[in-house]
Structure 1
Amino acid sequence: MGKMDQIHPAVFRFGDASEAAGSQAGHSFPFGLGESGLHEVCESRFGDLAALSGFVLATAQLRSGAIAWIGQRVLSSEHGTLMMAGQASLRRDCRHILSIRTQTLSHSLWALEEVICSAAVGAVIAELEQPDFTASRRLLLASERYGVPVILLLPFRAEGATAATARWRVQPEPSSFNRFDPHAPGNARWCAQLERSRMAPDQVGRRFYVELDHETLSLRMVSGMATHAPASRPKRKDKGNSETIRATG
Protein backbone atom coordinates (compact mmCIF):
# COMPACT_ATOMS: atom_id res chain seq x y z
CA MET A 1 0.00 0.00 0.00
CA GLY A 2 1.30 3.36 -0.90
CA LYS A 3 0.67 7.01 -0.20
CA MET A 4 -2.58 8.57 -1.36
CA ASP A 5 -3.57 12.20 -1.54
CA GLN A 6 -3.82 14.22 1.65
CA ILE A 7 -7.52 15.07 1.32
CA HIS A 8 -9.36 14.16 4.50
CA PRO A 9 -11.58 11.05 4.20
CA ALA A 10 -14.60 10.15 6.34
CA VAL A 11 -17.16 11.89 4.14
CA PHE A 12 -19.92 9.28 4.12
CA ARG A 13 -20.56 6.35 6.40
CA PHE A 14 -22.77 3.37 5.67
CA GLY A 15 -26.42 4.39 5.40
CA ASP A 16 -25.72 8.12 5.07
CA ALA A 17 -28.90 9.91 3.99
CA SER A 18 -27.05 11.81 1.28
CA GLU A 19 -25.90 8.57 -0.23
CA ALA A 20 -29.34 6.99 0.02
CA ALA A 21 -30.95 9.84 -1.86
CA GLY A 22 -29.66 8.59 -5.20
CA SER A 23 -30.81 4.99 -4.87
CA GLN A 24 -34.18 3.31 -5.18
CA ALA A 25 -36.51 2.85 -2.22
CA GLY A 26 -34.06 4.52 0.14
CA HIS A 27 -31.50 1.72 -0.14
CA SER A 28 -27.98 2.92 0.51
CA PHE A 29 -24.49 1.50 0.31
CA PRO A 30 -23.67 -1.31 0.96
CA PHE A 31 -27.15 -2.44 -0.15
CA GLY A 32 -27.53 -5.21 2.40
CA LEU A 33 -23.98 -6.56 2.24
CA GLY A 34 -23.30 -8.21 5.58
CA GLU A 35 -26.84 -7.41 6.76
CA SER A 36 -29.20 -9.59 4.72
CA GLY A 37 -29.46 -11.86 1.70
CA LEU A 38 -26.81 -13.61 -0.37
CA HIS A 39 -23.97 -11.50 -1.70
CA GLU A 40 -21.15 -12.57 -4.01
CA VAL A 41 -17.83 -10.74 -3.61
CA CYS A 42 -15.44 -11.55 -6.45
CA GLU A 43 -11.76 -10.90 -7.03
CA SER A 44 -10.89 -8.29 -9.63
CA ARG A 45 -7.79 -10.31 -10.47
CA PHE A 46 -6.01 -13.36 -9.18
CA GLY A 47 -4.49 -12.79 -5.76
CA ASP A 48 -7.11 -10.34 -4.47
CA LEU A 49 -8.71 -12.88 -2.12
CA ALA A 50 -6.76 -11.53 0.86
CA ALA A 51 -8.12 -8.06 0.16
CA LEU A 52 -11.63 -9.50 -0.12
CA SER A 53 -11.22 -11.13 3.28
CA GLY A 54 -10.43 -7.84 4.98
CA PHE A 55 -13.26 -6.10 3.17
CA VAL A 56 -15.96 -8.57 4.20
CA LEU A 57 -14.68 -8.91 7.78
CA ALA A 58 -15.03 -5.17 8.22
CA THR A 59 -18.47 -5.29 6.59
CA ALA A 60 -19.59 -8.13 8.87
CA GLN A 61 -19.22 -5.78 11.86
CA LEU A 62 -22.73 -4.65 11.01
CA ARG A 63 -24.01 -7.94 12.46
CA SER A 64 -23.72 -9.20 16.01
CA GLY A 65 -22.90 -12.78 16.92
CA ALA A 66 -20.36 -15.28 15.69
CA ILE A 67 -19.22 -15.63 12.08
CA ALA A 68 -18.90 -19.01 10.39
CA TRP A 69 -16.04 -18.93 7.87
CA ILE A 70 -16.13 -21.83 5.39
CA GLY A 71 -13.09 -22.39 3.20
CA GLN A 72 -12.85 -24.78 0.26
CA ARG A 73 -9.46 -26.46 0.23
CA VAL A 74 -8.60 -25.62 -3.39
CA LEU A 75 -8.80 -21.88 -2.64
CA SER A 76 -7.06 -22.22 0.72
CA SER A 77 -4.12 -23.95 -0.97
CA GLU A 78 -3.84 -21.08 -3.46
CA HIS A 79 -4.35 -18.12 -1.13
CA GLY A 80 -3.74 -19.38 2.41
CA THR A 81 -5.97 -19.12 5.46
CA LEU A 82 -6.96 -16.35 7.85
CA MET A 83 -4.28 -15.16 10.27
CA MET A 84 -5.29 -14.54 13.88
CA ALA A 85 -3.39 -11.24 13.97
CA GLY A 86 -5.23 -10.04 10.87
CA GLN A 87 -8.58 -11.06 12.29
CA ALA A 88 -7.86 -9.18 15.51
CA SER A 89 -7.20 -5.96 13.58
CA LEU A 90 -10.49 -6.23 11.69
CA ARG A 91 -12.82 -7.86 14.20
CA ARG A 92 -13.63 -6.77 17.73
CA ASP A 93 -13.64 -10.34 18.98
CA CYS A 94 -11.89 -12.71 16.58
CA ARG A 95 -12.56 -15.62 18.97
CA HIS A 96 -16.11 -15.60 17.61
CA ILE A 97 -15.04 -16.78 14.15
CA LEU A 98 -15.79 -20.45 13.53
CA SER A 99 -13.46 -21.83 10.85
CA ILE A 100 -14.66 -24.75 8.72
CA ARG A 101 -12.56 -26.43 6.01
CA THR A 102 -14.10 -28.48 3.21
CA GLN A 103 -12.71 -30.59 0.38
CA THR A 104 -15.11 -29.96 -2.49
CA LEU A 105 -17.72 -27.46 -3.63
CA SER A 106 -20.54 -29.86 -2.76
CA HIS A 107 -19.16 -30.22 0.77
CA SER A 108 -18.97 -26.43 1.09
CA LEU A 109 -22.57 -25.98 -0.04
CA TRP A 110 -23.76 -28.64 2.41
CA ALA A 111 -21.86 -26.97 5.27
CA LEU A 112 -23.28 -23.58 4.27
CA GLU A 113 -26.87 -24.77 4.44
CA GLU A 114 -26.32 -26.57 7.74
CA VAL A 115 -24.78 -23.50 9.38
CA ILE A 116 -27.49 -21.18 8.06
CA CYS A 117 -30.29 -23.44 9.23
CA SER A 118 -28.73 -23.78 12.67
CA ALA A 119 -29.41 -20.07 13.28
CA ALA A 120 -26.45 -20.17 15.69
CA VAL A 121 -24.33 -17.51 13.93
CA GLY A 122 -24.78 -13.89 12.95
CA ALA A 123 -23.34 -14.28 9.45
CA VAL A 124 -21.74 -16.85 7.15
CA ILE A 125 -18.74 -16.19 4.89
CA ALA A 126 -17.53 -18.83 2.45
CA GLU A 127 -14.53 -19.03 0.10
CA LEU A 128 -15.55 -21.37 -2.70
CA GLU A 129 -15.84 -21.90 -6.41
CA GLN A 130 -18.91 -20.35 -7.97
CA PRO A 131 -22.09 -22.36 -7.34
CA ASP A 132 -24.65 -22.83 -10.09
CA PHE A 133 -28.02 -21.05 -10.15
CA THR A 134 -29.87 -23.84 -8.34
CA ALA A 135 -27.34 -23.97 -5.48
CA SER A 136 -27.32 -20.18 -5.11
CA ARG A 137 -31.12 -20.19 -5.04
CA ARG A 138 -31.13 -22.69 -2.16
CA LEU A 139 -28.65 -20.54 -0.24
CA LEU A 140 -30.69 -17.40 -0.82
CA LEU A 141 -33.92 -19.03 0.38
CA ALA A 142 -32.19 -20.38 3.49
CA SER A 143 -30.66 -16.96 4.20
CA GLU A 144 -34.03 -15.23 3.92
CA ARG A 145 -35.86 -17.87 5.95
CA TYR A 146 -33.47 -17.86 8.91
CA GLY A 147 -32.36 -14.23 8.69
CA VAL A 148 -28.65 -15.07 8.35
CA PRO A 149 -26.69 -13.01 5.79
CA VAL A 150 -24.35 -14.98 3.53
CA ILE A 151 -21.26 -13.66 1.73
CA LEU A 152 -19.53 -15.79 -0.89
CA LEU A 153 -15.90 -14.99 -1.71
CA LEU A 154 -15.39 -16.07 -5.32
CA PRO A 155 -12.34 -16.20 -7.61
CA PHE A 156 -11.82 -13.62 -10.35
CA ARG A 157 -13.15 -16.00 -13.01
CA ALA A 158 -16.67 -15.98 -11.49
CA GLU A 159 -19.32 -14.83 -13.95
CA GLY A 160 -22.77 -15.73 -15.23
CA ALA A 161 -26.21 -15.44 -13.66
CA THR A 162 -26.98 -16.62 -10.12
CA ALA A 163 -29.78 -16.01 -7.63
CA ALA A 164 -27.58 -13.82 -5.40
CA THR A 165 -28.96 -10.57 -4.02
CA ALA A 166 -25.93 -8.74 -5.38
CA ARG A 167 -22.51 -9.31 -6.88
CA TRP A 168 -19.50 -7.15 -6.05
CA ARG A 169 -16.11 -6.92 -7.74
CA VAL A 170 -13.53 -5.77 -5.18
CA GLN A 171 -9.89 -4.80 -5.47
CA PRO A 172 -7.39 -3.28 -3.03
CA GLU A 173 -6.43 0.39 -3.37
CA PRO A 174 -3.37 2.30 -2.15
CA SER A 175 -3.74 3.15 1.52
CA SER A 176 -4.66 6.55 2.89
CA PHE A 177 -2.07 9.14 3.82
CA ASN A 178 -0.49 8.50 7.21
CA ARG A 179 -0.31 11.87 8.96
CA PHE A 180 2.10 10.54 11.59
CA ASP A 181 4.59 9.02 9.15
CA PRO A 182 4.46 9.87 5.42
CA HIS A 183 6.58 6.79 4.65
CA ALA A 184 4.18 4.39 6.41
CA PRO A 185 0.87 3.04 5.11
CA GLY A 186 -2.36 4.54 6.40
CA ASN A 187 -5.84 3.04 6.57
CA ALA A 188 -6.52 0.11 4.23
CA ARG A 189 -8.71 1.02 1.26
CA TRP A 190 -10.75 -0.90 -1.28
CA CYS A 191 -12.65 -0.23 -4.49
CA ALA A 192 -15.97 -2.13 -4.60
CA GLN A 193 -17.87 -2.15 -7.89
CA LEU A 194 -21.49 -3.22 -7.84
CA GLU A 195 -21.92 -5.60 -10.80
CA ARG A 196 -25.44 -6.80 -10.07
CA SER A 197 -28.10 -5.87 -7.54
CA ARG A 198 -31.75 -6.59 -6.97
CA MET A 199 -32.04 -3.96 -4.24
CA ALA A 200 -30.45 -1.08 -6.16
CA PRO A 201 -30.39 -1.83 -9.91
CA ASP A 202 -29.87 1.87 -10.63
CA GLN A 203 -26.50 1.70 -8.85
CA VAL A 204 -25.13 -1.21 -10.92
CA GLY A 205 -21.74 -0.37 -12.40
CA ARG A 206 -20.95 2.24 -9.77
CA ARG A 207 -17.65 2.10 -7.91
CA PHE A 208 -17.51 2.78 -4.18
CA TYR A 209 -14.21 3.69 -2.51
CA VAL A 210 -14.08 2.73 1.16
CA GLU A 211 -11.50 2.53 3.91
CA LEU A 212 -11.17 0.87 7.29
CA ASP A 213 -11.76 3.04 10.34
CA HIS A 214 -9.40 1.59 12.95
CA GLU A 215 -11.24 3.23 15.83
CA THR A 216 -14.63 1.68 15.06
CA LEU A 217 -13.33 -1.31 13.06
CA SER A 218 -15.86 -0.54 10.34
CA LEU A 219 -15.82 0.69 6.77
CA ARG A 220 -16.49 4.26 5.74
CA MET A 221 -16.86 5.83 2.35
CA VAL A 222 -14.09 8.04 1.04
CA SER A 223 -14.16 10.99 -1.32
CA GLY A 224 -11.29 12.76 -3.02
CA MET A 225 -9.17 9.66 -3.54
CA ALA A 226 -6.27 10.17 -5.86
CA THR A 227 -6.72 8.63 -9.31
CA HIS A 228 -3.09 8.99 -10.29
CA ALA A 229 0.23 7.82 -8.92
CA PRO A 230 1.87 10.18 -6.43
CA ALA A 231 4.63 12.35 -7.82
CA SER A 232 8.11 11.07 -7.20
CA ARG A 233 10.19 12.85 -4.59
CA PRO A 234 13.02 14.99 -5.97
CA LYS A 235 16.46 13.56 -5.43
CA ARG A 236 18.30 15.11 -2.53
CA LYS A 237 21.39 17.03 -3.54
CA ASP A 238 24.33 16.02 -1.38
CA LYS A 239 26.64 18.80 -0.38
CA GLY A 240 30.23 18.34 -1.39
CA ASN A 241 31.59 15.34 -3.26
CA SER A 242 33.26 12.04 -2.57
CA GLU A 243 36.68 13.64 -2.35
CA THR A 244 35.67 15.79 0.64
CA ILE A 245 34.20 12.99 2.77
CA ARG A 246 35.70 13.10 6.24
CA ALA A 247 37.92 10.22 7.21
CA THR A 248 36.74 8.46 10.38
CA GLY A 249 39.36 5.83 11.03
Structure 2
Amino acid sequence: MESAALDIPGVFRLGETRRKPDPGFPLNLGREGVHEICEASHGDMAAMTGFALAAARPPAGAVFWVRQFGLSREHGQLLHAGLETVARPPAGLLSVETRKTSDALWASEEAICSGAVGLVIAEIEGLDFTASRRLTLAASRHGIPLILLLPWRRDGSSAATARWRVTSRPSAPNAFDARAPGASRWQAVLEKSRQAPQMAGHVFNIELDHETLSLRVVSGLAAHAPSPRAAPADIDIRDAPPRQQTG
Protein backbone atom coordinates (compact mmCIF):
# COMPACT_ATOMS: atom_id res chain seq x y z
CA MET A 1 0.00 0.00 0.00
CA GLU A 2 1.49 3.32 -1.01
CA SER A 3 1.22 6.55 0.92
CA ALA A 4 1.09 10.01 -0.54
CA ALA A 5 3.84 12.45 0.32
CA LEU A 6 3.16 15.61 2.27
CA ASP A 7 2.42 17.75 -0.74
CA ILE A 8 -1.01 19.07 0.20
CA PRO A 9 -1.27 22.53 1.75
CA GLY A 10 -0.84 22.75 5.47
CA VAL A 11 0.58 19.28 6.20
CA PHE A 12 3.86 19.97 7.94
CA ARG A 13 6.75 18.40 9.72
CA LEU A 14 6.55 18.60 13.49
CA GLY A 15 8.87 21.31 14.74
CA GLU A 16 8.74 23.22 11.46
CA THR A 17 8.29 27.00 11.78
CA ARG A 18 6.08 28.81 9.30
CA ARG A 19 6.00 32.56 8.82
CA LYS A 20 2.43 32.66 7.56
CA PRO A 21 -0.50 30.47 8.64
CA ASP A 22 -1.51 27.96 5.99
CA PRO A 23 -5.27 27.57 5.35
CA GLY A 24 -4.93 23.91 4.37
CA PHE A 25 -4.98 20.76 6.50
CA PRO A 26 -4.95 20.64 9.48
CA LEU A 27 -6.45 24.15 9.46
CA ASN A 28 -3.94 25.56 11.95
CA LEU A 29 -4.85 22.99 14.57
CA GLY A 30 -2.79 23.80 17.65
CA ARG A 31 -1.47 26.98 16.05
CA GLU A 32 -4.43 29.33 16.35
CA GLY A 33 -8.08 29.34 17.39
CA VAL A 34 -10.06 26.65 19.20
CA HIS A 35 -10.30 23.16 17.73
CA GLU A 36 -12.61 20.48 19.08
CA ILE A 37 -11.38 16.91 18.60
CA CYS A 38 -14.06 14.33 19.41
CA GLU A 39 -14.14 10.56 19.66
CA ALA A 40 -15.80 8.82 16.72
CA SER A 41 -17.02 6.21 19.22
CA HIS A 42 -16.44 5.33 22.84
CA GLY A 43 -12.86 4.19 23.36
CA ASP A 44 -11.24 6.49 20.79
CA MET A 45 -9.82 8.86 23.43
CA ALA A 46 -6.28 7.54 22.97
CA ALA A 47 -6.57 7.77 19.18
CA MET A 48 -7.76 11.38 19.17
CA THR A 49 -5.10 12.35 21.73
CA GLY A 50 -2.40 10.87 19.51
CA PHE A 51 -3.82 12.68 16.49
CA ALA A 52 -3.88 15.99 18.39
CA LEU A 53 -0.25 15.65 19.48
CA ALA A 54 0.91 14.62 16.01
CA ALA A 55 -1.01 17.32 14.15
CA ALA A 56 -0.28 20.26 16.46
CA ARG A 57 3.05 21.99 15.97
CA PRO A 58 5.04 22.12 19.23
CA PRO A 59 4.58 25.63 20.64
CA ALA A 60 7.33 28.02 21.63
CA GLY A 61 6.05 28.04 25.21
CA ALA A 62 4.92 25.36 27.61
CA VAL A 63 1.89 23.12 27.05
CA PHE A 64 -0.84 23.56 29.67
CA TRP A 65 -2.94 20.37 29.96
CA VAL A 66 -6.28 20.35 31.78
CA ARG A 67 -8.03 17.05 32.59
CA GLN A 68 -11.33 16.28 34.22
CA PHE A 69 -11.14 13.64 36.90
CA GLY A 70 -13.95 11.56 35.36
CA LEU A 71 -12.19 11.26 32.01
CA SER A 72 -8.88 10.60 33.68
CA ARG A 73 -10.40 7.79 35.73
CA GLU A 74 -12.06 6.27 32.67
CA HIS A 75 -9.22 6.51 30.17
CA GLY A 76 -6.11 6.57 32.34
CA GLN A 77 -3.39 9.08 33.07
CA LEU A 78 -1.44 11.05 30.52
CA LEU A 79 1.77 9.25 29.56
CA HIS A 80 4.44 11.93 29.56
CA ALA A 81 6.88 9.66 27.71
CA GLY A 82 4.44 9.45 24.81
CA LEU A 83 4.02 13.22 24.77
CA GLU A 84 7.78 13.69 24.66
CA THR A 85 8.10 11.17 21.84
CA VAL A 86 5.46 12.72 19.59
CA ALA A 87 5.21 16.40 20.47
CA ARG A 88 8.36 17.27 22.44
CA PRO A 89 7.21 20.56 23.98
CA PRO A 90 10.44 22.59 24.28
CA ALA A 91 9.31 24.50 27.38
CA GLY A 92 7.82 21.53 29.19
CA LEU A 93 4.36 20.45 30.30
CA LEU A 94 2.10 21.84 33.01
CA SER A 95 -0.92 19.78 33.98
CA VAL A 96 -3.91 20.23 36.27
CA GLU A 97 -6.84 17.97 37.09
CA THR A 98 -10.31 19.19 38.04
CA ARG A 99 -13.53 17.47 39.08
CA LYS A 100 -16.08 19.84 37.52
CA THR A 101 -16.43 20.90 33.91
CA SER A 102 -16.79 24.53 35.00
CA ASP A 103 -13.43 24.34 36.79
CA ALA A 104 -11.75 22.84 33.72
CA LEU A 105 -13.17 25.59 31.51
CA TRP A 106 -12.08 28.26 34.00
CA ALA A 107 -8.54 26.84 34.17
CA SER A 108 -8.34 26.73 30.36
CA GLU A 109 -9.46 30.32 29.96
CA GLU A 110 -7.11 31.54 32.69
CA ALA A 111 -4.19 29.76 31.04
CA ILE A 112 -5.01 31.39 27.71
CA CYS A 113 -5.32 34.85 29.25
CA SER A 114 -2.10 34.48 31.26
CA GLY A 115 0.10 34.51 28.16
CA ALA A 116 2.54 32.25 30.03
CA VAL A 117 1.99 29.15 27.85
CA GLY A 118 2.13 28.41 24.15
CA LEU A 119 -0.69 25.88 23.86
CA VAL A 120 -3.64 24.80 26.02
CA ILE A 121 -5.11 21.29 25.74
CA ALA A 122 -8.24 20.46 27.73
CA GLU A 123 -9.91 17.07 28.18
CA ILE A 124 -13.45 17.91 29.26
CA GLU A 125 -16.78 16.12 29.33
CA GLY A 126 -18.61 18.83 27.34
CA LEU A 127 -19.41 22.51 26.94
CA ASP A 128 -22.25 24.68 25.66
CA PHE A 129 -22.17 27.35 22.98
CA THR A 130 -21.60 30.17 25.47
CA ALA A 131 -18.52 28.46 26.92
CA SER A 132 -17.13 27.73 23.46
CA ARG A 133 -17.61 31.38 22.51
CA ARG A 134 -15.79 32.61 25.62
CA LEU A 135 -12.85 30.35 24.90
CA THR A 136 -12.76 31.29 21.22
CA LEU A 137 -12.76 35.00 22.03
CA ALA A 138 -10.00 34.52 24.61
CA ALA A 139 -7.86 32.50 22.19
CA SER A 140 -8.33 35.12 19.48
CA ARG A 141 -7.61 38.04 21.80
CA HIS A 142 -4.44 36.59 23.36
CA GLY A 143 -3.17 34.54 20.42
CA ILE A 144 -2.97 31.27 22.38
CA PRO A 145 -4.40 28.18 20.61
CA LEU A 146 -6.67 25.73 22.44
CA ILE A 147 -7.40 22.09 21.67
CA LEU A 148 -10.48 20.57 23.30
CA LEU A 149 -10.52 16.77 23.60
CA LEU A 150 -14.14 15.66 23.91
CA PRO A 151 -16.00 12.34 24.25
CA TRP A 152 -18.02 10.74 21.46
CA ARG A 153 -21.34 12.23 22.62
CA ARG A 154 -20.20 15.78 21.76
CA ASP A 155 -22.69 17.36 19.35
CA GLY A 156 -24.60 20.58 18.78
CA SER A 157 -23.57 24.11 17.90
CA SER A 158 -20.19 25.56 18.79
CA ALA A 159 -18.23 28.76 18.28
CA ALA A 160 -14.99 26.81 17.89
CA THR A 161 -12.82 27.24 14.82
CA ALA A 162 -13.25 23.60 13.78
CA ARG A 163 -14.53 20.24 14.98
CA TRP A 164 -12.80 16.96 14.15
CA ARG A 165 -14.11 13.42 14.67
CA VAL A 166 -11.22 10.98 15.08
CA THR A 167 -10.83 7.22 15.25
CA SER A 168 -7.91 4.85 14.97
CA ARG A 169 -7.03 2.84 11.88
CA PRO A 170 -5.02 -0.39 11.55
CA SER A 171 -1.34 0.44 11.68
CA ALA A 172 0.80 0.44 8.56
CA PRO A 173 2.61 -2.75 7.55
CA ASN A 174 5.96 -3.18 9.24
CA ALA A 175 8.76 -3.40 6.70
CA PHE A 176 10.91 -5.57 8.96
CA ASP A 177 8.40 -7.84 10.72
CA ALA A 178 5.07 -8.88 9.18
CA ARG A 179 3.64 -9.63 12.62
CA ALA A 180 4.69 -6.34 14.23
CA PRO A 181 2.72 -3.08 14.04
CA GLY A 182 3.99 -0.34 11.77
CA ALA A 183 3.35 3.40 11.75
CA SER A 184 0.35 4.74 13.68
CA ARG A 185 -2.67 5.73 11.60
CA TRP A 186 -5.82 7.74 12.23
CA GLN A 187 -8.95 8.74 10.39
CA ALA A 188 -10.00 12.35 10.95
CA VAL A 189 -13.31 13.70 9.68
CA LEU A 190 -13.66 17.47 9.56
CA GLU A 191 -17.25 17.93 10.74
CA LYS A 192 -17.33 21.73 10.94
CA SER A 193 -15.00 24.56 10.02
CA ARG A 194 -15.47 28.31 10.24
CA GLN A 195 -12.18 28.87 8.47
CA ALA A 196 -12.86 26.53 5.52
CA PRO A 197 -16.57 25.59 5.47
CA GLN A 198 -16.19 24.05 2.02
CA MET A 199 -14.00 21.32 3.56
CA ALA A 200 -16.66 20.17 6.04
CA GLY A 201 -17.26 16.44 5.75
CA HIS A 202 -13.84 15.72 4.26
CA VAL A 203 -12.17 12.52 5.49
CA PHE A 204 -8.40 12.41 6.07
CA ASN A 205 -6.54 9.12 6.54
CA ILE A 206 -3.28 10.05 8.22
CA GLU A 207 -0.07 8.24 9.09
CA LEU A 208 2.73 9.21 11.48
CA ASP A 209 6.30 8.80 10.33
CA HIS A 210 8.12 7.85 13.54
CA GLU A 211 11.56 8.61 12.09
CA THR A 212 10.92 12.15 10.87
CA LEU A 213 7.96 12.89 13.22
CA SER A 214 5.91 14.08 10.26
CA LEU A 215 2.36 13.42 9.11
CA ARG A 216 1.39 12.13 5.73
CA VAL A 217 -1.96 11.46 4.10
CA VAL A 218 -2.45 7.83 3.09
CA SER A 219 -4.50 7.01 0.01
CA GLY A 220 -6.40 3.84 -0.78
CA LEU A 221 -7.05 2.61 2.76
CA ALA A 222 -9.69 -0.10 3.10
CA ALA A 223 -12.96 0.79 4.82
CA HIS A 224 -12.74 -2.21 7.13
CA ALA A 225 -10.16 -3.79 9.38
CA PRO A 226 -7.92 -6.42 7.79
CA SER A 227 -8.69 -10.06 8.49
CA PRO A 228 -6.40 -11.74 11.02
CA ARG A 229 -3.43 -13.67 9.72
CA ALA A 230 -3.71 -17.44 9.77
CA ALA A 231 -1.66 -19.16 12.44
CA PRO A 232 1.46 -20.89 11.10
CA ALA A 233 1.05 -24.63 10.57
CA ASP A 234 2.77 -26.98 12.99
CA ILE A 235 5.99 -28.42 11.67
CA ASP A 236 6.33 -32.17 11.76
CA ILE A 237 9.92 -33.05 12.64
CA ARG A 238 9.56 -36.24 10.60
CA ASP A 239 9.34 -34.07 7.48
CA ALA A 240 12.59 -32.27 8.28
CA PRO A 241 15.65 -33.14 6.15
CA PRO A 242 18.19 -35.46 7.77
CA ARG A 243 20.91 -33.74 9.75
CA GLN A 244 24.33 -33.98 8.18
CA GLN A 245 27.24 -34.91 10.35
CA THR A 246 30.56 -33.16 10.03
CA GLY A 247 33.89 -34.52 10.95
Cα deviations by residue, 1:133-186 (Å, 9 ceiling, x for unpaired) = 111101000000110110100010010001111111000111111111111111
Cα shift at 1:15: 1.5
In structure 2, the partner of 1:134 is 130
Paired position in structure 2 for 1:10: 5
1:15 partner letter: G
Which of structures 1 and 2 has the larger relative contact order (alpha carbons within 8 angstroms, sep 6+)? 1
Q: What one-letter code is carried by the residue in structure 2 that aligns with 1:160? A: G
SS at match of 1:179: coil
Query: Runs (4+) of structure 1 moved beyond 6 Å?
Result: none
14 and 222 in structure 1: CA distance in 2 versus 1, 3 angstrom threshold: farther
Structure 2: runs of 5+ lacking an equivalent: 12-21, 241-247
User: Which of 202, 209, 217 in structure 1 is aligned with 2:205?
Assistant: 209
Q: CA RMSD in A?
A: 2.5
Letter in 1 for 2:124: L
Worse-matched range after superposition: 143-152 or 82-91: 82-91
- The answer on whether the counterparts of 1:14 and 1:221 sit within 8 Å (CA) in structure 2 is no
Give me the whole-angstrom Cα distance separating, in 2, the residues matched to 1:99 and 1:232. 39
Structure 1 residue 219 displacement after superposition: 2.4
1:189–1:236 CA distance, 2 compared to 1 (3 A): closer
Look up the equivalent residue of 1:100 and give its one-letter code: V
Partner of 1:23: none
Inter-partner Cα distance in structure 1 for 2:105 and 2:227: 48
Out of 156, 163, 171, the position equivalent to 2:167 is 171
- Is 1:72 the counterpart of 2:83 in the alignment? no
- State the 1:64 CA deviation: 2.6
Alignment partner of 2:47 out of 41, 51, 63: 51
1:88 Cα deviation after fit: 2.4
TM-score (norm 2): 0.84
What is the TM-score normalised by the length of structure 1? 0.84
SS in 2 for 1:122: strand
Return closer, same or farther for 1:14/1:66 CA change in 2, 3 Å cut-off: farther
Q: Quote the sequence identity (%).
A: 52
C-alpha distance in structure 1 between counterparts of 2:224 and 2:136, whole Å: 39
Tell me the equivalent position of 2:243: none
Count of equivalent residues? 231
Residue in 1 aligned with 2:14?
Answer: none
Q: Pairwise mapping of residues 155-166 of structure 1 onto structure 2 (< 5 A)?
A: 155-166=151-162
Are the equivalent residues in 2 in contact too, given 1:38–1:164 (CA < 8 A)? Answer: yes
Change (3 A) 1:98 1:228: same
AA matched with 2:180: A
Structure that is richer in helix per residue: 1
Gaps of 5+ in 1: 1-5, 17-25
- The 1:166–1:237 alpha-carbon spacing in structure 2 relative to 1, beyond 3 Å, is closer
Secondary structure of 1:89's aligned partner: helix
